[in-house]
Amino acid sequence: MARQYHFVYLLSFGSNVGDRMANLLRGRTFLARYGVFQKESGWIKTEPLASDTYDVSDHDFYLNGVLEFASELSPIELYGKIWEIEDCVGHRRDKRWAPRELDIDILFVGASDVIERTVECARECDTSFANARALHFVGPDGFRVPHADFWNRPFLIDLVVVHLDIPREILLKHENVMKNEENILKGNS
């Protein structure tokens, strides 16, 4: 059965509570209902991020990875599905920067022309993020793609550039599209 994929995402997955790998795989399995995973970075252990604003003394190490994901869901639709999946697996919403069983962030989004393919040919079709048209999205509650803190997290940059083999120039192109459009809206062309 052919499906249409309009968007290609780079998603970060993280877990620092309980059986981290099981949590990540459970989240991945739930998300696979809404598209197809095209590339995976593998999983790395990272220390909790330091924060001047939030108490992270109760955080244990994280298991993190980045996955390339194609879907017909728009960024806001995917964001809603991610919230549902995080809530199902375990993600506290009462406290920012709380330990969590699952955290999924949309790092970047690109647009493809309508791509019709079967799930079986997913890895053979050239619908990669690197070839997608750069997009940005600003939604409710500070939701922004490209992710506002991506460049502040060296481990994510490494997972994308080294492990997924996506050139830094491609990521900068996506970031620059957002900045250019923000300047136009402000009248600073």
Q: pTM of the entire structure?
A: 0.85
> Is pLDDT of 158 > 80?
yes
Of residues 24 and 175, the one with the higher pLDDT is: 24
DSSP state of 161: I
Q: Longest C-alpha distance within the chain, in Å?
A: 50
Position 137 scores a pLDDT of 82
Q: What's the mean pLDDT when you consider all of the chain?
A: 83
> Is pLDDT of 81 > 50?
yes
d(CA 36, CA 19): 24
Residues 145 and 75 sit within 8 Å (Cβ to Cβ): yes
Q: Which domains are delineated in the chain? A: 3-186 (3.30.70.560)
3-state secondary structure of 135: coil
DSSP state of 162: I
Mean pLDDT calculated for residue range 177-188: 58
Position 127 scores a pLDDT of 66
Of 56-70, 127-141, 159-173, the one with minimum mean pLDDT is: 127-141
> Is pLDDT of 85 > 50?
yes
DSSP labels, 7-34: EEEEEEEEE-SSSHHHHHHHHHHHHGGG
Residue 1 binned pLDDT confidence (cut-offs 50, 70, 90): very low
Q: Which residues contact 143 (CB under 8 A, 6 or more apart)?
A: 76, 79, 137
Q: Which residues contact 126 (CB under 8 A, 6 or more apart)?
A: none
